[in-house]
Amino acid sequence: MSDDPKRSPSEAWQALEKGALRDEGERVAKLGNEELDASLAARGVDPEAARRRGAELAAKLLAQRAAGAAQPATQPDGKVVPIAAARARRARPAALTWLVAAAAAAAVLGGGGAAYVALNTPEPAPTTPVPTVPSAPPGPPPEVLAKQEADTLRGRAATECGATHWAACLSSLRQAGKLDPQGAAARPVARMQAKAARALLHEELDAKGGSVEARTLPAKLAAGFTTALAEHRGQAVTLACAPGAEPQPLCGWLAAALTRAGWVVTRPRLKAPVTVDGQVVHATRVLVAPDADDATQSAADALADALEGALLRTSGPDEAPAGSGSPLTLVVGPQ
């Protein structure tokens, strides 16, 4: 054998670590239960409790795994209505209220005046106890356990999103999505997830200092924007644009692109920016009436996606109260 080393010290170290782990595995595998427990106890570990925790963790994970492999349950009508979705909807903090509906209506009619939108104080989302994992059969089927866990996570996510803890909210939703993919596809849940992801992106952009250039809708992006929305041709939308030298040109481009997509655009002249809870709405925000039909709800989702696709910062779709006069509103605020 040559005396020349074949491995660098670093590579040798890695091999040694791997060998040590393998040796340890073999050594421990040969220990009897009593020996193993005695060794753990000597290290200050309660072996019985450790085994129990391990068994419970595995039971929970295996239940989730089984649920992931199982077909999602549907209601007799074929529609899936996750509890979490309903809960998230109830807990949604963005139940928007038009504080001065008359002013808004006047604005829509061209009479001027500002439209004021208030954001209700978020109510804490109802939560359910974390489901316990059965240590022995019989117990709830794995898919039920997974669904319960997903529901709990989504309830928590609603609270986190309501408190603008976007990272935690997104994390909870993604965990829930793994447990209950069908529930993740439900509109309220998908919206909440998109909202959290956008908000995080915006935080990221803000941290980088943001853009100080006027927003534009270049031809290429406008074409994509139009194409994305053409599927919802005929959709009515109110374009509520803040006055000013910066928002107005953008509004003009958006109105033109929406019109090209076949949307019916109403563009009131506002004398002041739209405000939410006393705060001026910046960037863009999609508002949709909760009682709007499914086509409008889908259009609202598509609009929010298309705005992001056109590299325009947006939030929503958020709920606007019934009777606000417009099933679907796109608010364009100052930057």
Partner 1 sequence: MLAQHLERGTMSEFDPNAVDWGRTFAEALEIALDLKIRNAEDVVSEGVTMVIDGTAPFDPSGDVTLAAHVVAVADGKRRNQARVDRRRKGRGQNAKLVQFLDEAPPTPEELLEERAMGDRAFEALLAACEGDLEVRELVLLSRKDVDEAADQAETLGWKIERVRNARKRMTRLIAQVAESMQAWKDEDDP
> Would you tell me which residues interact with partner 1 (CB under 8 A)?
1-2, 5-29, 31, 33, 36-37, 39-40, 43, 45, 47, 50-55, 57-59, 61-62, 64-65, 167, 170-171, 174, 197, 200-201, 203-204, 207-208
Backbone angles phi and psi of 109, in degrees to 5? -80, 0
How far apart CA 58 and CA 189 sit, in angstroms, is 28
Distance of CA 330 to the CA centre of its chain: 20
In the complex with partner 1, the residue whose CB is nearer, 7 or 271, is: 7
In the complex with partner 1, the residue whose CB is nearer, 51 or 90, is: 51
In the complex with partner 1, the residue whose CB is nearer, 19 or 124, is: 19
At residue 109, the 3 state secondary structure works out as coil
In the complex with partner 1, the residue whose CB is nearer, 63 or 107, is: 63
Q: How far is the CB of 62 from partner 1 (least distance, A)?
A: 6
What token pair was written down for 102?
Answer: 């008359």
Q: How far is the CB of 203 from partner 1 (least distance, A)?
A: 6
DSSP string, 215-230: P---HHHHHHHHHHHG
Q: How far is the CB of 52 from partner 1 (least distance, A)?
A: 7
β-strands 284-288, 314-319 pairing: parallel
Backbone angles phi and psi of 47, in degrees to 5? -60, -40
Q: How far is the CB of 46 from partner 1 (least distance, A)?
A: 11
Q: How far is the CB of 170 from partner 1 (least distance, A)?
A: 6
In the complex with partner 1, the residue whose CB is nearer, 31 or 322, is: 31
Q: How far is the CB of 19 from partner 1 (least distance, A)?
A: 5
Distance of CA 271 to the CA centre of its chain: 33
- Least Cα distance to 150 among 207, 92, 82, 81 occurs for 82
In the complex with partner 1, the residue whose CB is nearer, 146 or 330, is: 146
- Least Cα distance to 120 among 286, 325, 327, 278 occurs for 278
Element (H, E) at 118: strand 116-119
